[in-house]
Amino acid sequence: MNKTREIIHYHEETKHHFHRYAKSLGYMDWKNQPNPFRFYENVKTVSLPLLEDTPKTEYMDLYTRKNTAPQAFSLENISRFIALALGLSAWKAISGSRWSLRMNPSSGNLHPTEAHFVLPSTDRTPCGVYHYNPFIHALEQRAVIPRDLWESILNYFQTNGFMAALSSIFWRESWKYGERGFRYCNHDIGHALAGLSFSASLLGWRVTVLNSLSDRDIETILGFDRTAWHDLEEEAPELLCFVHTHEQHNISRGLPIEIIDGFSSLSFYGTPNLLSDNKVNWEIIYKAKELTEKSPTSEKRFDYGHRKFISTSMPSLDAAQIIRQRRSAVSFNPGGHISKHRFMAMLDKTLPRNLCAPFDAELFDPNIHLFIFVHKVREMLPGLYFFIRNEHHLREIQHLAKPDFLWEQIDPKFPLYLLKNGEFRQTAIKISCHQDIAGDSVFSLGMIARFKSLLDKEPFRYRHLFWESGMVGQVLYLEAEAHELRGTGIGCFFDDAVHDLLGFEDNAFQSLYHFTIGDPVEDNRLTVYPPYYHLKNR
Ligand SMILES: Cc1cc2nc3c(=O)[nH]c(=O)nc-3n(C[C@H](O)[C@H](O)[C@H](O)COP(=O)(O)O)c2cc1C
């Protein structure tokens, strides 16, 4: 089998069908539930200041950074940046059980994503490689970087800044979701990357993905090749970014080999904590990881063009507050609705633009489109719609989709098309693993990715497609909050039922992630606690 076929094999095997779900244990092995918090034991731990005053920034500055003057790269600001991207957002409790939530969402709240930072020296810390521990909002020092290595990094980028990296622990997701878990880990990376990008905006910073690096390079920089992992609990390197002021536009997308070699001789400290006593080896996940491993590539820059945002008359919104209040809805009031203008403004935010977060992290060209079930948008007919995020794909999608779709453009300047009128609440529920949230909402959608042709060229793009869908999801989560609604990512859907609805018969395009937005119904049985109340005596 060639690589594309093998990746498609993973994808096919992990589809949910009406007659069978993707392979998983089939029951919850509570005794071995993985610890959602990674600690590196026997390291120096640097407590970060808890988030009190957040930068006062207008919501639109999350995207445009027009009014955010770049802040110093101090430990306090780095702490704010990390807290608003990846820190705890609340604790919830009900009848004796208690769980934490984070700024970034995660499938099943299992949080497979870990974060590491390569930081300059500060008044409290030496220049080094640090793991972020969100439970105690602290940095765990894994390596100290000699001054000449740090200077060569800054000389190379020709500006101040630091590096942020994300990794995945597949076991955390596969514990519950089995073989499909690899997909969810990658969705979560996309959410976290967008979270980092938005949080950077608040401080006048920007995150740029170093897209030429290989997974091995990232492993070397983070010392993963010198870490004593517990079996099946290793962190897989995903991506590395440079965080810099948003005024710097000409950031390199890679690192020279001499700098990567400089990291290979560092001593790394700390032993990762054990997450579960007993684990299941879902071999297909490790095969998928191997098949989608990224080798070094040339540096790539992307031109997304400039496009004015659709403006809405929203009351002045505090950007940090929107990030902090983000939650997943668990139930919707089916009477909820929004105006067509607001609906379009929400979709508009998912379009990449030059110099606008989060897509100017510059992962890749846009390859995700939105297939939308409009349930209750005022001044619009309920029905099936398609939102094109990359106009170069329009003709091909039209050609592959059912011939009786209308493709009526809603507005000549906006890439939203009506495919078919009708009431699709029950269909949306049915294809989303019978989850009511997909039908009781204002609208729900499937993220349709250009698929086989990308994998043929670059198999590692399989992961990037899920990352892009996670980034789109993060935009939708924040937009929902900004419009006084609430969103929920939907990883559980019957893949081919979506393709049948569209008329797609092959792998040219595939649905990778679903999302729903509506008027939330709160669960009043839950008690909510502040994010770091467990550290109040620190
Ligand atoms: C990739 C992904 C898939 C998800 N799939 C579902 C889903 O199918 N059904 C659901 O009710 N929630 C789903 N969620 C929402 C998570 O359960 C939620 O993010 C998690 O419980 C944490 O809660 P929070 O988002 O309020 O912080 C998903 C979230 C993500 C990021």
Please tell me the least confidently modeled range out of 269-273, 313-317, 497-501.
Answer: 313-317
Strand 332-333 to 338-339 pairing: unpaired
pLDDT band at 1 (very low <50, low <70, confident <90, very high): low
* Domains in the chain: ranges and CATH: 80-90+100-210+212-291 (3.40.109.10), 325-520 (3.40.109.10)
Q: Please say whether the beta carbons of 487 and 328 come within 8 A.
A: yes
Does residue 302 come out as left (phi exceeding 0), alpha (psi in the -120 to 50 range) or beta?
Answer: beta
Residue nearest to atom 19 of ligand 1 (CA): 105
Angle between the 283-291 and 3-13 helix axes, to the nearest 10 degrees? 140
Please tell me if the CB atom of residue 512 comes closer than 6 angstroms to any atom of ligand 1. no
Out of 54-63, 323-332, 487-496, pick the least confident: 54-63
Residue 240 backbone phi and psi in degrees, to 5: -135, 135
- Which runs of E-coded beta strand occur in 59-104? 88-94, 97-102
* Number of neighbours of residue 527 by Cβ within 10 angstroms: 11
- Taking the centre of ligand 1 as the mean of its atom positions, its distance from the CA of residue 110, in whole angstroms, is 9
Give the per-residue pLDDT at 312: 85
Q: Which residue has the tokens 């092959």?
A: 506
pLDDT at 331 over 80: yes
For residues 318 and 473, is the Cβ–Cβ distance under 8 A?
no
Q: Which of 490, 511, 512 is the best mutation target for the ligand 1 pocket, counting ligand atoms within 8 Å of the beta carbon and taking the most?
A: 490
Average pLDDT of the residues in 23-30: 96
Q: In this predicted model, what pLDDT tens digit does every residue of 366-412 receive, in sequence order?
A: 999 999 999 999 999 999 999 999 999 999 999 999 999 999 999 99
326 CA to middle of ligand 1, Å? 12
Rounded-to-integer distance, Cα 272 and Cα 422, Å: 53
Q: Residue 122 has which token pair?
A: 């500060």
Q: Report the distance separating Cα 157 and Cα 169, nearest Å.
A: 30
What pLDDT was estimated at residue 157?
Answer: 98
**DSSP 8-state assignment for residue 287:** H
Structure tokens at 511: 């649905």
Measured in angstroms, how far is the CA atom of residue 161 from the centroid of ligand 1?
Answer: 32
Please give the ipTM for the structure prediction.
Answer: 0.99
- Can you tell me the distance from the alpha carbon of 12 to that of 513, in angstroms, rounded to the nearest whole number? 15
198-210 burial, b at 16+ Cβ within 10 Å, e below that, comes to bbbbbbbbbbbbb
Cα 492 to averaged position of ligand 1 atoms, centre (Å): 10
Residue 226 half-sphere exposure, CB side, CA atoms within 13 Å? 15
- Is the CB of 481 inside a 6 Å radius of any atom of ligand 1? no
